[in-house]
Chain A
């Protein structure tokens, strides 16, 4: 009877010992990925911001609040089409950044299509990749860092300039009790395309530069606090400035009109919601990557020890009986 029990324990020990590395090095790389059908919303606010009053004499004015609503929507059908060509798991996010003034009216809207490898978050290029209708070819990351983010600089895509530049690793931080990495990117004053939708009556944003000589300039200092396990930002802050120069801004001091200037932060309820979501996903990733393999390895060793002990005890008894 003891012999049979020790054999069962031995089988279980091998099962656990084999499962531990298989989970960590075979299953985890295949299972840890961004789901293609993800839907996520985020609300950010810039309090006491400066906003160009398009309807009231084209002068910058202080406003209580500008709201930015950002939605990410995974397009599963488009993912399948791209995957067929790319031969790997691809996520296609259709996103909309919708900016709302204090009166509730649209200030600007920027749609994007972002394609990336579901496992590594490396960009994938296919027809349809765009920012505000302009075809782009992203380098680096956008919105999310890779799983198990490293404490180093990354290339980060800025949708306004349509270019990628380094986002610097600043150091570790503690955010709501979670150990996170802080990254910072500064985009210097850069001429950017006019948004396709602007709240200016009678002016076509597509031809405003050619017809009036007005150009749009932008600078940002962005900071992200990123959970290194999931690579998901848990907090973000941006100091954004936009100016119109020349043309309709020619009469302003230095020929510059502030279109927007503000410190953008996540609305507190969304900050908590995002943190809770990331914390939950962090536990799932760690379970597959660390907790389960380590637990199974320990269980395998314990079961093997128990099997050997039972076997040795059984043999001693047999020796005693035969003697």
Chain B
């Protein structure tokens, strides 16, 4: 009986973790304020 309770706790914890992570999802972010470029940058990200 105690083994079953331990297994149920492990299963519930795994389900809760995955559901929480997927519910939050990846951050949406914002549209970058950087412009569409009309000159070649000297180096990437510059």
Question: Smallest CB–CB gap between B21 and chain A, Å?
Answer: 6
Determine if B7 and A76 form an interchain contact, defined as CB atoms under 8 angstroms apart. Answer: no
Question: Smallest CB–CB gap between A265 and chain B, Å?
Answer: 14
User: How far does the alpha carbon of A37 sit from the alpha carbon of B10 in the complex, in Å?
Assistant: 37
Identify 15 new A-B residue pairs, CB closer than 8 A, beyond the known A14-B9, A41-B44, A74-B29: A10-B6, A11-B10, A13-B10, A18-B11, A31-B22, A35-B29, A43-B40, A73-B32, A74-B32, A94-B36, A95-B36, A96-B36, A98-B36, A100-B39, A273-B44
* A-contact bits for B20-46, CB 8 A (1 contact / 0 none): 011001111111101111111101110
User: How far does the alpha carbon of A290 sit from the alpha carbon of B21 in the complex, in Å?
Assistant: 17
What residues of chain A lie closer than 8 Å to B25, measured between beta carbons? 30-31
Q: What number of A residues sit within 8 Å (CB to CB) of B?
A: 46
Question: Smallest CB–CB gap between B39 and chain A, Å?
Answer: 7
User: How far does the alpha carbon of A96 sit from the alpha carbon of B30 in the complex, in Å?
Assistant: 19
Q: Which residues of A contact B (CB under 8 A)?
A: 3, 7-8, 10-16, 18-19, 22-23, 26-27, 30-31, 33, 35-39, 41, 43, 67, 69, 71, 73-77, 94-96, 98, 100, 106, 109, 111, 267, 269-270, 273
What residues of chain A lie closer than 8 Å to B37, measured between beta carbons? 41, 69, 71, 96, 98
Closest 5 CB pairs of A and B: A14-B10, A37-B29, A39-B32, A96-B36, A273-B44
List 30 A-B residue pairs with CB atoms under 8 Å apart, sorted by A's residue number: A11-B10, A13-B10, A14-B6, A14-B7, A18-B14, A30-B25, A31-B21, A35-B27, A35-B29, A36-B28, A37-B28, A37-B29, A37-B31, A39-B32, A41-B44, A41-B45, A43-B40, A67-B40, A69-B40, A69-B41, A71-B36, A73-B31, A73-B34, A76-B28, A77-B31, A98-B37, A100-B39, A267-B40, A269-B43, A273-B45
